[in-house]
Amino acid sequence: MTTRIFASPARYVQGADIIDQLGEQLATLGKSAFIIADETTWKIVGEKASAAMQGKTEFHHEEFNGEASKNEISRLAELARSKGADLIVGMGGGKAMDTAKGTADDLGLPVAIVPTIASTDAPCSALSVIYTDQGVFEGYRFYNKNPDLVIVDTRICAQAPARLFASGIADGLATNVEAQAVLKSRSKTMVSGAPTIAGIAIAEACEKTLLTYGEAAYAAVKEGLVTPAVEAVVEASTLLSGLGFENGGLAGAHAIHNGFTALDGDIHHLTHGEKVAYGTLVQMVLEQRPEEDVFKFIKLYRAIGMPVTLKELHLENAPREDLKKVGDLANSESDTLRNLATDLSADDIADAILAVDTLAKKAA
C-alpha cells in the first residue's frame, strides 16, 4: 500500500500586530536574516519589521523582482551568500514566498515566511510554483522540508486590498474540491504519499470555514477591520488551505489556473485566486457535480467579486483554439489534472470552460 505522509511548517504564528514579535521569532532561527520583499511590500511593512528586528537579529533587505523563476532564485541565493546570511525570509505575496523557499533550499538555510496578504496558500508548503522570467508556468519545485516559521499579522492582511483577501478565499475553496478528487482517484498528494485522515479533515474544515465566514470576513476587510470572522478566514486561507492542498493533493482547479498562463491578454491582470476560482468551477463541471453544488460556490464567488463568466476572465472573445491551449497546458505531465482524470482532452477542457460561463449566467 502507498505510504501516508503528513507535512507541515515547524511553527505557525497568527494574530493582529504579531509583526512586532518578528525579531524574537527570527532570532530562534538565525543571527543574520536575508529578507526578500518587493518594493510595495517593503513600503508597507519595512518600517515595522525593521523596528521589530532592532537589537534582535541583523538583516539585509533585497528587492524581489516579481517573478518566481529559476534565474531570480539563483540571483538572490548568490546575494544572500555574499551577505553571509544564515536565514532567508520571504515577505509579501505567493511569488515572493516561493522565491524565498527556493533561495533557502539552494543555500541549505532555514526559511521564514511572512505573508502580508492572505491571498494564497503558499506560506506553509514545501514547494514552489516556478515560472519562466516571462510569467509562464514551468512546474513545481519540491523541498525536503516545510518552512521553519510562518508568521501572519492579521492587521496587515486586513489593511491590504479586499480583492486580494477575496482571492485567498477563492484559492482556499479549491482545497477540498481537489483533495476529494485525489482521494477518489487514489492519486498521490503533493508530498508524494496517500492522503492522510488528518489532511482530508483539514481540507474539509477549510471549505466549511470559508463558506461559513467568507462573506462576513470580506465585508470586514473592506473596512480594514480585524474580526473573529477575519481571523478564522485568514487561518483557513493560509494554514488550513496550505496543509490541505499539500497533504490532500491538487487536481483540476490549479491545473486550469496554470493552463491560463498559455494565453496572452488581460487575463494576466487577474490574481492567482481569481483564476483558481474559475478553475475550481471547471473541475466541478468535469466531475459532473450537482448544479446546486456549483451554484453554492458561484454565489459566494459573486459576493466577494470573483470571476465566474468568460467576460469577467477577459476571455469572452477567445477563440476555441485558445481554450484548447489552456487544456493542453493543464494536461501536461508536469501538472495535476491527471489526478482528476487521465483521459481528458483539450476539447473536454474547452467545453467545461464554456459550460461554467453558461452555468454562471443561469445562476444570475
Question: Torsion angle of alpha carbons 250, 307, 300, 15, nearest 10°?
Answer: 70
Q: Active-site residue among 257, 322, 335, 357?
A: 257
Check if 314 is active-site. no
Give start and end residues of each alpha helix (H) in 85-143. 94-107
Task: Give the residue from 322, 314, 315, 317 showing the smallest Cα distance to 349.
Answer: 322
Residue 272 appears among annotated catalytic residues: yes
The one catalytic residue among 105, 148, 272, 322: 272
To the query of whether residue 254 is one of the catalytic residues in this protein, the response is yes
Catalytic residue among 171, 322, 335, 357: 171
First CA to last CA distance, the chain? 46
User: 265: which DSSP letter?
Assistant: S
- Rounded Cα gap, residues 136 and 128, in angstroms: 14
DSSP 196: P
The enclosing H or E element of 245 equals: helix 241-248
CA distance 82 to 87: 13
CA angle (243, 248, 249) in 5-degree steps: 105
Packing angle of the helix pair 346-363, 252-260 (nearest 10 deg): 100
> For residue 4, what is the DSSP state?
B
The radius of gyration of the chain's CA atoms, rounded to the nearest angstrom, is 19
Distance CA 203, CA 174 (A): 9
Q: Are 190 and 250 in contact (CB under 8 A)?
A: yes
**Residue among 98, 153, 254, 335 flagged as catalytic:** 254
Decide if 357 is catalytic. Answer: no
Cell numbers for 160, please give them.
491590504
Q: Of 138, 66, 135, 71, nearest to 103 (Cα)?
A: 71
List, by residue number, the catalytic residues.
171, 254, 257, 272
